[in-house]
Amino acid sequence: MAIRRGRGVAAINYPTGMNLGGDPTQALVHSTPTGNFMVTLSSVDLGQGMKQIMAQICAETIGVPTDRVVVDTADTDTGPHCMGTFASRGTHRAGNAVIQAAREARQVMLEVAAEELEVNASDLETDGQGNILVKGAPQRSISIFDVALAAHFKRGRSISGRGMFLIPRSYPEKETGAMKPSTCYAHACTVAEVEVDDETGEVTVLTVKNVFEIGRALNPKMVEQQLVGGSWMGISHALYETTEPYYPNRDHGGTDFNQYLMPGPGDLAQTEIIVLERPSADGPYGAKGPGEMCANPQIPAVANAVFDAVGVRIDTLPITPERILRALKAQASN
């Protein structure tokens, strides 16, 4: 009887969006009188940070700092249609809609600035700090604050834009299954290292090394939080979680967090996250959707590591101590 060490690898891809049902999201952007920008959506922030990401996307596109943008999500009286926050589509679909709306608003903003500066709009650029400058002559400039005031009180212009992102629905071909279920794919490869106690069947995940390719990390800190959380969820799925321990028997489902097991702070694996960026052709600034993908590769990586450690295959999730002990017993009797 001993504690045995093993490691396993898994590699996956993951689709962004869900155009087997059609996949639209809309956005509206408008300026306040003092040159702040309001993004109006009916998309939902689940805690992943959609509001922050949409603010950064809008700010980048208009050419202002992120703190000049306010995002209003999820009011059906004011927000235009969004299919919803699921299918790894939030950043990708809503982000694209926000870019389109912000571009339109930016164009009006530059037209008003051009009138104020008596130049052509095409000769103007933003400095990202809240100013609009004449290209090649940056001493000729106007603040976005003053442009917005002029638009609202002097020139009767609405600095606003409409954005729409729609992937038309794909209907699978009946006989061949030819279909276009999504637009771009995120990728991942995980190597997990485990210890298995062959006396108790207990698995400890020592390290997970996760490499994720996500198009673009629009906000690297928030990407990190999502990828670390997802990695934890993958390990939890692999080793702990089940609402029906004796599926298909329906007994013994948990009713609270005392009965529904998940790894606690003492069970956390040492987690390493590496991010690669291959921009997607249709993503907002190249972003793909990492939200779901990041919880998937740990599951088979851990399963493969368990085999590497003790030489038994557990092909049924979750990989519980009981299943490992039964498999070891069966192996010993063969």
Partner 1 sequence: MELRKSYFADQRKDDLHEIGQPRPRSDSPGHVTGKTAYFADRNFPGMLHLKMVRSPHHHARIRSIDTSEAEKHPGVVKILTAQDVPHNVYTILILIQIGPEDETVLADGKVRWKGEAVVAVLAETERAAQEAAAKVKIDYEVLPAVFDMEEALKPGAPIVNEYHGRNYYLYDSGECRKVRFGDVEAGFAGADHMLEQTYQSSPIEHAPTETTGCIVVPEGNDRFTCYTNTQAMFFTLDNASIVLQMPGNKLHFVGGTVGGGFGGKVDVIVEPIAILGAKLTGRPVSFIYSREEEMQISSPRAAEKVVIKDGVMKDGRIVARKVTGYTDAGAYSRHSPYGAQKGAGHYPGPYTIPNVWIDTYCVYTNRTPSSAMRGFGVTIGDFALEVQMDKLARLIGMDPLEFRFINAYRDGDMKAHRQPTEGAALIECMQEASRAANWPVAEKFMAMSSYAKGA
Tell which positions 106-145 bind partner 1, by CB under 8 A.
128
Of 151 and 184, nearer to partner 1 (C-beta) is 184
Q: Which 271-290 positions form the footprint of partner 1 (CB under 8 A)?
A: 272-281, 285-286, 288
Whether 118 sits among the annotated catalytic residues: the reply is no
Of 70 and 149, nearer to partner 1 (C-beta) is 70
Report, in Å, the least distance between residue 205 CB and partner 1.
14
Which of 40, 85, 91, 160 is in the footprint of partner 1 by CB under 8 A?
85
| Rounded distance between C-alpha atoms, residue 150 and residue 271, angstroms | 52
Cβ neighbourhood burial of 334 (10 Å; 0-12, 13-18, 19+): exposed
Cβ neighbourhood burial of 165 (10 Å; 0-12, 13-18, 19+): buried
State the catalytic residue, choosing from 125, 202, 277, 292: 292
N residues, the chain: 334
Q: Does 66 bind partner 1 (CB under 8 A)?
A: yes
Of 104 and 213, nearer to partner 1 (C-beta) is 213
Q: Does 4 bind partner 1 (CB under 8 A)?
A: no
Whether the CB-CB separation of 232 and 296 falls below 8 Å is answered with: no
Residue 210 neighbours by CB under 8 Å, 6+ apart: 188, 189, 190, 227, 231, 271, 272, 273, 274, 294, 297, 298
Q: Does 316 bind partner 1 (CB under 8 A)?
A: yes
Q: Does 67 bind partner 1 (CB under 8 A)?
A: yes
Report, in Å, the least distance between residue 190 CB and partner 1.
7
Q: Which 6-25 positions form the footprint of partner 1 (CB under 8 A)?
A: 7-15, 18, 20-22
| Rounded distance between C-alpha atoms, residue 198 and residue 16, angstroms | 40
Q: Does 185 bind partner 1 (CB under 8 A)?
A: yes
Q: Look up tokens 């809609």; give the residue.
A: 97
Of 154 and 276, nearer to partner 1 (C-beta) is 276
The SS3 of residue 189 is strand
Q: Look up tokens 């809008």; give the residue.
A: 58
- Please name which of 92, 89, 96, 97 lies closest in space to residue 21, comparing C-alpha atoms: 89
Q: Does 265 bind partner 1 (CB under 8 A)?
A: no
- Please name which of 191, 295, 303 lies closest in space to residue 234, comparing C-alpha atoms: 295
Which of 34, 199, 253, 322 is in the footprint of partner 1 by CB under 8 A?
253
Q: Which 30-49 positions form the footprint of partner 1 (CB under 8 A)?
A: 42-47, 49
The SS3 of residue 182 is coil
Which of 176, 264, 265, 334 is in the footprint of partner 1 by CB under 8 A?
176
Distance of CA 220 to the CA centre of its chain: 11
Whether the CB-CB separation of 135 and 123 falls below 8 Å is answered with: yes
Q: Does 307 bind partner 1 (CB under 8 A)?
A: yes
Report, in Å, the least distance between residue 288 CB and partner 1.
8
Q: Does 326 bind partner 1 (CB under 8 A)?
A: no
Q: Does 100 bind partner 1 (CB under 8 A)?
A: no
Number of residues that bind partner 1 (CB under 8 A): 132
Which of 189, 268, 325, 328 is in the footprint of partner 1 by CB under 8 A?
189
- Please name which of 27, 28, 57, 31 lies closest in space to residue 143, comparing C-alpha atoms: 31
Q: Does 54 bind partner 1 (CB under 8 A)?
A: no
Of 20 and 328, nearer to partner 1 (C-beta) is 20
Q: Which 202-231 positions form the footprint of partner 1 (CB under 8 A)?
A: 209, 211-213, 215-224, 227-228, 230
Report, in Å, the least distance between residue 194 CB and partner 1.
13
Half-sphere exposure of 317 (CA within 13 A, CB side): 18
Active site members: 292
